[in-house]
Structure 1
Amino acid sequence: MTYNIFGARSGGIPDLQMIADVINRAKPDLVALQEVDKNTTRNSKNGDIAKKLAELTGMDYHFAKAINVSGGEYGDAVLSRLPIKEKQSFNLEVDPTLGGERRSVARILVEKEGKEFYFISTHFDHLSDERNRIKQANDFVAMAKTFNKPMIVGADFNALPASNPMNILRTFFTYGCLNGNCSQYTFSTTNPDRTIDYLIYAPLNAFTPTYYTVYTWANKESDHFPVIATFKLNF
């Protein structure tokens, strides 16, 4: 699953249990979370959101900080029902001619069926100008090429399927969407009109997506729908 949980909203997340209920209903092995606060004033009642969601779902977790904000930290996280063998955090910078927010990459190494692979969460820039997303896509591909295991990435890329940033990502990654058809809208839950959240993977022969859908029933918990996929391990 990949899920932007709307944690950066003014006033924070009103009911973290609602987010946990969505995850618990889907029962995924792995969840990529975006817009995750840690001990911020805007999410003061929730505290360490990744840790709390891990407790509410019975999963392990890893949080990666992008920036300091509202007296705490903000970034991306992953939840895992599989044993986590390694946790790593990375950053994606912005185009200096544009400016904006540094972004984070949360990476864990997990094992299933005796096979090790990386599961990653990230969140690209949201500005209308795509220069930051283009830089982040190029930098993320370069980063991923240094990783020595197959990988699945869940992300809010803030980019449409045929956009320049997604075309850059597709030089290395493959869409998890069945037949490459990412036509199900993922944003917004009040007026769905675009696809900006994805599950992608690399290398091509390491995984076979057998199921891919957007959970449109989860339309009150966040401004993004969660995206769910099932992958067959081929390595």
Structure 2
Amino acid sequence: MKKVIPIIFLFLFFAGNLFVLANAKPKKRIKAMAYNVHHCNPPTAGELIDVGAIARVINDHKPDFVALQEIDVNTIRSGKGRNQAQELAQLTGMFYFFSKAIDHQGGDYGVAVLSRYPIIDSMRIALPILPDQPEELRAVAAITVALSKKRNFVFASTHLGLREPNRLIQVDKIIANLTTLDTPTVIAGDFNAYPESPVIAKMDQYFTRSCTVNCQYTIPVINPKSTIDYIFYKSAKPIKVRSHQVIDEQYASDHLPVFAEFEITL
């Protein structure tokens, strides 16, 4: 009998582990980037448009999704007939979706997303401004992709206004459109708001930031002193942040790109 007890114990131990493994839920790791690209015009390069510089930053870090802000399509300053979102997609081997915010110099100007996954749905969300707070209109570019046969994923890019009253109602519009989705969702971009602002406090009620403590600054690119670029997420299924960093890239844009890796339960 003395030898039977250890054998039974070992059987129960291995059976228990096999049960846990058999019932473990599959997970998917994704990498996301938020990047205000200054219409692909390096601030120290005069009027030069250098789409390749932005593409190199993306290719160096290999994100699965990129939220782009300040994208030109067919504008005079960036070149008639040039679609920066499309060019970046071609240079990085990714899919893209562009969401126009305003007319600009004979073309369009707005935000975009890049995705390594085929886009199965897309949505443009026009963001409001108050009548007594006139400024440039803003937008959201949101896409849906399939992470697996059973799990879709929403990724969105935005660039909020310069005036806080407008930013607050713009966040309300984002919350109304993206928090009702029963799928993992990430929204990233330039929120033009500091971490302690009412705008970010409102976002924090419905989403979670990829970094909340000891986070690196995102502007200016040399000796950065402030954070206004973020990656937010929410999900009915668990999402874990595996890493967060601000990339020290000082040439390509006037903002530093933000990069985070997530683990999503499928």
| Same-fold status (TM-score > 0.5) | yes
C-alpha contact (below 8 Å) 1:182/1:195 kept by paired residues: no
Check conservation: 1:92, 1:102, Cα contact below 8 A. yes
Counterpart residue number, 1:79 = 114
Aligned to 1:120: 156
1:1-235 map, 5 Å? 1-7=33-39, 14-44=49-79, 47-114=82-149, 115-126=151-162, 129-177=163-211, 180-181=212-213, 183-203=215-235, 205-216=237-248, 218-235=249-266
Matches of 1:97 and 1:139, distance apart in 2: 18
TM-score (norm 1): 0.92
- For residues 99 and 36 of structure 1, what CA distance do their matches in structure 2 show? 21
Task: Tell me, in whole angstroms, the C-alpha distance in 2 between the residues paired with 1:206 and 1:83.
Answer: 23
- In our comparison, the structure showing a higher alpha carbon Rg is 2
| Change in 2 beyond 3 A, CA 1:76/1:86 | same
- Which string of whole-angstrom CA distances, capped at 9 and with x for unpartnered residues, describes residues 143-193 of structure 1? 22343422011110011111010011111111111xx22621011113411
Stretch deviating more after TM superposition (54-63 or 199-208): 199-208
- Aligned 8 A contact 1:6 1:13 in 2: no
8 Å contact kept, 2:100–2:109: yes
Q: Report the CA distance between 1:123 and its aligned residue.
A: 0.5
How has the CA–CA distance of structure 1 residues 182 and 156 changed in structure 2, closer, same or farther, with 3 Å as cutoff? Answer: farther
Tell me which of the two structures has the higher relative contact order, counting C-alpha pairs closer than 8 angstroms and 6 or more residues apart.
2
Alignment RMSD, CA only?
Answer: 1.9
The alpha carbon displacement at 1:135 in A equals: 1.4
In the superposition, the TM-score normalised over structure 2's length comes to 0.81
Structure 2 unaligned spans of 5+: 1-32
- CA distance in 2 between partners of 1:85 and 1:46 (Å): 26
State how far apart, in whole Å, the 1-side matches of 2:47 and 2:102 are.
16
Aligned-residue offset at 1:211? 0.6
Higher helix share: 2
Question: For the structure 1 residues 153 and 24, does the alpha-carbon distance in structure 2 shift closer, same or farther, using more than 3 Å as the test?
Answer: same
Percent of matched pairs sharing the same residue: 40
Moved beyond 6 Å, runs of 4+: 8-11
Query: Contact 2:240–2:264 (CA<8 Å) still a contact in 1?
Result: yes
Kindly provide the CA deviation profile for residues 204-225 of structure 1, in whole angstroms up to 9, marking residues without a partner as x.
7531111110001x11100001
State the shift of 1:7 in Å.
Answer: 0.9
Alignment partners' CA distance in 2, 1:107 and 1:224? 21
68 and 26 in structure 1: CA distance in 2 versus 1, 3 angstrom threshold: same
